[in-house]
Structure 1
Amino acid sequence: MILGRADGLWLNEPKRWAAEGDSLEIVTDKASDFWRETHYGFNRDSGHFLGFPTGEAFTAELHVQSDFRQLYDQAGIMVRIDERHWVKAGIEFSDGQAMLGSVLTDERSDWTTAPYQNDASDFWVRATVDKGVLRLQISADGNLWPLMRLAPFPMASSYLVGPMACTPERDGLKVLFTSFRLSPPLGRPLHDLS
């Protein structure tokens, strides 16, 4: 059982990881990354992702703890259809600080970043997919959930969703994931922060 479930599928299983109950600790491998084409011109699908199967609509939440210190250190949640259609969201170290970051890939990757005003070493992230729309939320305490991103997202009969981490410039980032929850979509109004 990993994160309290038995149906997780690894993409690029890290060399070092341990699971107990609802917790998963991983240590990233060298030069692990998820990216497609934009700006850099390369494709990388070597990041660590533990995906749990969903139906066509869901909400997933995850608690993430790590010490982001080097360029592009990142961890959070991923929603994935295949190597050309996915999103990753959480904290990413960029421009000398831990930032909110999300990359939505529909054949090619985009990237959004913003300063994060709370403790980046301890946060919650939520992804909701419903009727072709992706809603990402971030939380400092697991109670108040401001909007991080709202975007169109490819519709599919099923997705994989779960913890993601990678370190394009190094190895050795230790990340603790806990409190993974997968449920039907919450269906709350856009400005409901609960």
Structure 2
Amino acid sequence: MESKDYKSITLDHFRWLNEPTNWNLCDSVLKVTTDDKTDFWQGTWYNFHFNTGHLFGIDIKDDFTFEACIEADFASLYDQAGLMLYINEKQWIKTGIEYTDGQAMIGSVLTNGVSDWATGIFNGNPKKFWLKLSSVGNIVCIKYSIDKVKWALLRLCPFIKKEEDLCFVGFMCCTPQRSGLNVKFSEYKITVPIDDVLHGDN
């Protein structure tokens, strides 16, 4: 999708990177069951290199804000679901809930050759939450909400793209140590970013 005609986009325009064995799309709701040992990660600390996670997305050239509701019952180490912006195997950012140290945490991973990981306590119900990922120029702004009313900043970071790069953005889920996480993605929308993505929607 190379224009700002975002209202014409439906999930029928989306495609898979690493299609899972079991998934269903009905009435603009995507339901996914993760395959075994799936993840996106490049190197840091573990020296793991995985590009096997599930991403259902669409190519976008211009600035955008991608918003969705995510529902899942996170239970095993590194269970994760959320949103992702993907350029290639070595350049991407993913965000959402990830299960670690016995609890569901909100966080993000930025990869530019190698991956970082920033995570923190989630003060809501991790079984249902909302994410908003905005790409404006060479900046990405990520926010989350526990009620879709008030949004909290999760990350503001540089994300340098080449002029010819398309952003492949969409719904992400992975289970590095098992299979069988059931995830529901709904209430999605793609819009032109507001003037102040950092403060303008609070």
- TM-score, normalisation: structure 1: 0.95
Q: Does 1:160 align with 2:168?
A: yes
- The structural deviation recorded for 1:29 is 0.3
**AA of the residue aligned to 1:182:** I
Q: Is the 8 A contact 1:56 1:155 kept in 2?
A: no
1:191 matched residue in structure 2: 199
- For 2:104 and 2:64, how far apart are their aligned partners in 1? 28
1:61 matched residue in structure 2: 67
Q: Is the 8 A contact 1:7 1:53 kept in 2?
A: no
1:180 matched residue in structure 2: 188
- The structural deviation recorded for 1:42 is 2.1
**AA of the residue aligned to 1:58:** F
Within 5 A, what are the aligned runs for 1:10-159? Answer: 10-156=16-162, 157-159=165-167
- The structural deviation recorded for 1:43 is 0.8
Gaps of 5+ in 1: none
- For 1:187 and 1:141, how far apart are their aligned partners in 2? 23
- For 1:153 and 1:51, how far apart are their aligned partners in 2? 18
- The structural deviation recorded for 1:84 is 0.8
**AA of the residue aligned to 1:73:** D
CA-to-partner distance for each residue in 1:60-86, whole Å, 9 max, x for gaps?
Answer: 001000000110000000001111110
- For 2:89 and 2:27, how far apart are their aligned partners in 1? 29
Aligned CA RMSD, in angstroms, stands at 1.3
Q: Is the 8 A contact 1:53 1:158 kept in 2?
A: yes
CA-to-partner distance for each residue in 1:78-112, whole Å, 9 max, x for gaps?
Answer: 00111111011000001110000210001110000
Instruction: Determine helix, strand or coil for the equivalent of 1:75.
Output: strand
**AA of the residue aligned to 1:80:** Y
Stretches (4+) displaced over 6 A: none
- For 1:42 and 1:72, how far apart are their aligned partners in 2? 13
2:177 matched residue in structure 1: 169
Instruction: Determine helix, strand or coil for the equivalent of 2:106.
Output: strand
